[in-house]
Amino acid sequence: MRRLLTLLATLMVVWSPAITWAEGATGYSRGNAFIYFMAIGAVLVFGINDVFHKRWLTWAAAIIIPVSLYMMLPAK
């Protein structure tokens, strides 16, 4: 588990500047907001799994939460 968390943290650090440069450095960056929203979504899905311990509920949350968070992103 420690290796997985280290790998995910490394990917976040490596890809975050690339997405920012691709989006442009003026004010709001949809790429950074997408990264933060998906991190929040991952925490929410793991929380649902930890609380309810139901596989079907975890799978449903893993589909619904990221899609709903993506729909909340502003256009630009």
Residues 6+ positions from 19 with CB-CB distance below 8 Å: 29, 31, 32, 34, 35
Q: What is the percent of the chain with per-residue pLDDT over 90, rounded to a whole number?
A: 12
- Sketch the domain layout of the chain as residue ranges: 2-72
pLDDT of residue 60: 93
- 64 has pLDDT over 60: yes
Question: Would the pLDDT of 17 be above 70?
Answer: no
Mean pLDDT of the chain: 80
Tell me which of 6 and 32 has the higher pLDDT: 6
